[in-house]
Amino acid sequence: MSRTSIHGEWSSRTAFILAATGSAVGLGNIWKFPYMAGQYGGGAFVITYLLCIAIICLPVMMAEVMLGKLGRSSPINTMYHLAVENKQSKIWILLGWSGAIAGFLILSYYSVIAGWALAYVPELALGTFTKVENMPTAEISPFVDSIFNSLTENPTKLIFWHTSFICMTMFMIAGGVKGGLERAVTFMMPALFILLLVLVGYSMSTPDFMRGFQFMFNVNFDNLLYPNCTEQACELSGDGLLAAMGQAFFSLSLGMGSIMVYGAYLPKNASVSKVTTAVVLADTSVAILAGLIIFPIVFSNGLEPGAGVGLVFKTLPIAFGQMPFGTLFGTLFFILLVLAALSSSISLIEPAVAWLVETKKFTRISASVLSGIFVWLVGLITVFSFNLWSEVKPIGGLNLFELIDYLTANIMLPLAGLLIAIFTGWLMKKTIVANELNSSVDSFSYRIWYFLLRYVTPLGVSIVFLNAIGVFS
């Protein structure tokens, strides 16, 4: 059936590409990708991540955009309508609910991390990190660590910045598709790319640029397949493979409803395959550029590439403290990091806001406020995970923030991607799918995509999951 979104449409194909890239590009690329690569050995993680992007995530992303374009509504209502039209069980509405819930959970901690970036803007602007220029090398790392720790160990500070970021998100999303979402990303994404290229240029001037480059692209699968080595023994593990696949889904915003709801606002004459490919290339480029910025700085300053969630906040300030015009560039970078995070956060909560407007007849403003309050409350779990509840580790030695991160990125998103592949590849009519992709069922490109979606994606996701839980050990 032909539908029209009650929320409006993007003004052009380019607007969708910028918005979807904004959804994908954010903390997942600049904050999370480098420290994940550092934890799992660099090059082996990167090559696995890229393979997951090309073979598993790109076909799923095309399918998710196509589902949204067909449904023209929130993911929950889209899956309900498409299940009915394809004579499938209404239980498929749970796939839409899964995306909305995953987006809520991710945004609950995403806003806390974005709050860190927000807190660093005044630190850079006031020249706090310029002190490292005259410090002995051995004192630089403890100094930067102390600033980061004074933020994360103080729940009052974290709540303030978490609240500030949520309020910014609600303000932007209340403006609607064109007035809020599109207007923001039209400026933010080009500016972010320009600053990333400037910082890559700086990174190339550091003494250990080639060492950082080799760390990212030299492939040694030992650290990926045996991430938990001790002096006594090394145990084969699927954790690294699962982390790479989870990061690929997280980075592209797959399985969390964002891409599906953005597809609902896609102009009818836009090519799903072309716009999706453009978003994937842009998103992957940002992740690679972020690594090329951060790892040379890490090695040049004697830091640890697997330093964890604080990696970006402990490396880039050192660079800005030492480079010419570092105060200016550092302030601008963290402002744009906040804006990139904002472009992702509005996409994370858009599925819930759209559902409230469609189903419960909320105004867009009231739906935004209600959603923001719920996300803010859940975000307090992450806030306290870094201080008051830091010793609470209910499962596998993970604190509550790490548990939410693991549950969403490594379980909910890949499983949602698997279900999207099954629904689109096995349950929808082949001619409808081909028609929506502006293709023929007999074309070579369509057959390749359809094969990957029907067989390779489900098989790949299933093998990684089974390996991670020890079935093959």
Q: What is the pLDDT of residues 269-304, one digit of tens each?
A: 888 888 899 999 988 888 888 888 888 888 887 777
Q: Cα torsion for 109, 110, 116, 120, to the nearest 10°?
A: -170
Nearest to 321, CA basis, from 157, 72, 165, 137: 137
Query: Given this model, what pLDDT does residue 329 score?
Result: 81
Sequence letter at residue 259: I
Sequence letter at residue 102: A
First-to-final CA distance of the chain: 48
pLDDT-derived band at 352 (thresholds 50, 70, 90) equals very high
Q: What is the pLDDT of residues 311-351, one digit of tens each?
A: 778 877 887 887 778 888 888 888 878 877 888 898 899 89
Query: Given this model, what pLDDT does residue 237 score?
Result: 65
Is 90 exceeded by the pLDDT of residue 65? yes
**φ, ψ for residue 395 (rounded to 5)?**
-135, 130
Q: What is the pLDDT of residues 46-62, one digit of tens each?
A: 888 999 898 988 999 99
Average pLDDT over residues 157-175: 92
Query: Given this model, what pLDDT does residue 232 score?
Result: 55
Query: Given this model, what pLDDT does residue 202 score?
Result: 82
3-state secondary structure of 223: helix
Average pLDDT over residues 151-158: 95
Average pLDDT over residues 231-244: 69
Is the torsion defined by CA of 129, 134, 138, 143 positive or negative? negative
CB 26 within 8 A of CB 283: no
CB 218 within 8 A of CB 42: yes
Is 60 exceeded by the pLDDT of residue 468? no
Query: Given this model, what pLDDT does residue 440 score?
Result: 81
Q: What is the pLDDT of residues 255-271, one digit of tens each?
A: 888 899 998 988 888 88
Average pLDDT over residues 424-430: 92
Q: How does DSSP classify residue 231?
A: S
User: In angstroms, how far is CA 447 from the centroid of its own chain?
Assistant: 29
CB 314 within 8 A of CB 307: yes
Is 80 exceeded by the pLDDT of residue 309? no
Whole-number Å distance between alpha carbons of 44 and 453 = 24
Highest mean pLDDT among 77-91, 169-183, 303-317 belongs to: 77-91
Query: Given this model, what pLDDT does residue 355 score?
Result: 94
pLDDT-derived band at 424 (thresholds 50, 70, 90) equals very high
Task: Spell out a b/e string for 335-351, using b for 16 or more CB atoms within 10 Å of the CB, else e.
Answer: bbbbbbbbbbbbbbbbb
Average pLDDT score over the chain: 85
Nearest to 103, CA basis, from 257, 263, 246, 260: 257
Whole-number Å distance between alpha carbons of 278 and 18 = 9
Whole-number Å distance between alpha carbons of 374 and 170 = 12
For residue 355 the two structure tokens come to 């559902």
- Where residue 304 falls (left for φ over 0; alpha for ψ -120 to 50; beta otherwise) is beta
* pTM for this entry: 0.87
Whole-number Å distance between alpha carbons of 92 and 372 = 26
Whole-number Å distance between alpha carbons of 122 and 128 = 9
Query: Given this model, what pLDDT does residue 296 score?
Result: 87
Nearest to 338, CA basis, from 131, 176, 172: 172
413 versus 184: the higher-pLDDT residue is 413
C-alpha angle 331-108-9 in degrees, rounded to nearest 5: 80
Out of 10-19, 201-210, 295-304, pick the least confident.
295-304
335 versus 428: the higher-pLDDT residue is 428
**φ, ψ for residue 26 (rounded to 5)?**
175, -140
Task: Say which residues have a Cβ less than 8 Å from residue 222's Cβ, sequence separation at least 6.
Answer: 41, 44, 234
Q: What is the pLDDT of residues 377-416, one digit of tens each?
A: 999 999 999 999 999 998 888 999 999 988 887 788 888 8
Task: Spell out a b/e string for 412-426, using b for 16 or more CB atoms within 10 Å of the CB, else e.
Answer: bbbbbbbbbbbbbbe
Burial of 396 (0-12, 13-18, 19+ CB in 10 A): exposed
Average pLDDT over residues 221-233: 64
Is 80 exceeded by the pLDDT of residue 307? no
All structural domains of the chain, each given as residue ranges with its CATH number in brackets, are 13-468 (1.20.1740)
Q: How many Cα atoms within 13 Å fall on the side-chain side of residue 397?
A: 0
**φ, ψ for residue 316 (rounded to 5)?**
-60, -40
Q: Cα torsion for 141, 338, 327, 36, to the nearest 10°?
A: 30
Q: How many percent of the chain have pLDDT more than 90?
A: 33
Burial of 280 (0-12, 13-18, 19+ CB in 10 A): buried
Q: How does DSSP classify residue 395?
A: B
Burial of 257 (0-12, 13-18, 19+ CB in 10 A): buried
Query: Given this model, what pLDDT does residue 36 score?
Result: 81
3-state secondary structure of 100: helix
Beta bridge partners of 398: 395
Q: Give whole-number Cα distances, 51 to 141, 241, 453, 459, in Å.
A: 35, 11, 14, 14
Query: Given this model, what pLDDT does residue 306 score?
Result: 65
